[in-house]
Amino acid sequence: MALTDVTIRNARGKAKPYKLADSGGLYVLVKPDRAKYWRFKYRFVGKEKLLALGVYPAVRVADARAARDEAKRLLTEGRDPATVRKEEKRAVQVSTANTFEALAREWVEQKRNAWTPGHAARVLESLEDNAFPDLGFRPITEITAPELLAALRKIEARDALETASRIYQRCSAVFRYGVVTGRCERSPAADLRGALKAPKRAHHAALSAADLPEYLGKLETYQGHLQTQFALKLLALTFVRTGELRGAEWSEIDFEHAEWRIPAERMKMRAAHIVPLSRQALTVLEQLKSLTGGGRYLFPNQHKPDACMSENTMIYALYRMGYHSRATGHGFRATASTILNEQGWKPDAIERQLAHAERNKVRAAYHRSEYLPERRKMMQAWADYLEALASGGKVTPIRKAAA
């Protein structure tokens, strides 16, 4: 039976807390001192959870039911009401306090005119993943060098030394911005010079032709998220840069003409790029479309619906497949380049497909579609080559060297 104000008001305290049930998971928890707290019990991802909805009589019956209904609406959208509440509270704190996160977001906004949208998004995402959890809520003036170092040590503990170095540089830039805008007097990052482990500077690990059959076999039986498997397949088939793949949008895919047109603002060299799509790539895209075709990104972030896949997703998948230090997402570009050159394709066509920089600016203006017929043949032959390796069939050279 639904609760009424009279029922709640007349409820007496007992030796132990007890519940007065309303409906739909809503109830009042009556404490021994007669304090009465609204609670909403629900399940999220198979786990039972509680959401505090306030204290009676400050929160009346109608208000508590409205809050319950709003929580249920969030659940139908696949969102945890408790997490949403924390995010809202955090947003208020960030907007009203002189926190590291507030300053960092302001710094990124100030840099947007000088950066590409993709780079700005990556910088902010890296701070959200690696700095904000430990430092974001802290007032900028109270963060100490040991505190900053502790946050960076957590990244080092993952053996992500390159990431730790980048986060240090970005945090240092945020503090410098705070100094020049009068929000803090000095940067604690200045005290950490030489405190971090130096990342090893090496070429991106890449698979050889002999490694590919085993890798493609493992990829076909990958047990992780299906979306990640599709990303790794497209990476092998197109050998674009990982950032270009992660940020790919469905509006860039032309199924009719079998082309992926990447706009200039998402390219490292600031020039639009055409990727001819093989039959195999189109098949992967059709399968992926049934999963993510209703949104903006081919590979949306599983935790941030408005963002694309995290920069760590594919590399961690490679680690799980047993390729730690043996392969990287970027390394597939080197693998494809080596094999295609060995098989006799025109070096200029390969370079165009890799979207490498053209030093001659006049020639660069024509390079978006240069060698496109040759590149279409090459990309289809490359996909056929990978398919044959994956199936264990006989592999013939992609193409005889040009006479």
User: Which are the catalytic amino acids?
Assistant: 241, 268, 330, 333, 356, 366
Residue in the block written with tokens 């590919």: 212
Q: How many CA atoms lie within 13 A of 148 on its CB side?
A: 27
Please report the DSSP string for 177-226 in residue order. Answer: HHHHTTS-S--GGGGGTT-SPPPP--PPP---TTTHHHHHHHHHT--S-H
Cβ(172)–Cβ(187) below 8 Å: yes
C-alpha 23/C-alpha 194 separation (Å) is: 60
Q: Burial-class residue 370 by CB neighbours within 10 Å (0-12, 13-18, 19+).
A: middle
How long is the chain? 403
What's the rounded Cα separation, in Å, for the pair 380 and 402? Answer: 18
Q: What is the DSSP string of 31-93?
A: PTT--EEEEEEEEETTEEEEEEEEEETTS-HHHHHHHHHHHHHHHHTT--HHHHHHHHHHHHH
Helix (H) or strand (E) holding 377: helix 372-391
Q: CA-to-CA distance for 101 and 114, rounded, in angstroms?
A: 21
For 257-294, the DSSP string reads TTEEEE-GGGSTTSS-EEEEPPHHHHHHHHHHHHHHTT
d(CA 162, CA 168): 10
* One-letter identity of residue 70: E
Contact (Cβ atoms closer than 8 angstroms) between residue 275 and residue 238: yes
Q: What is the distance between the alpha carbons of residues 221 and 203, in angstroms, rounded to a whole number?
A: 28
Distance (Å) of CA 161 to CA 156, 164, 167 = 5, 5, 10
Q: How many CB atoms lie within 10 A of CB 32?
A: 12
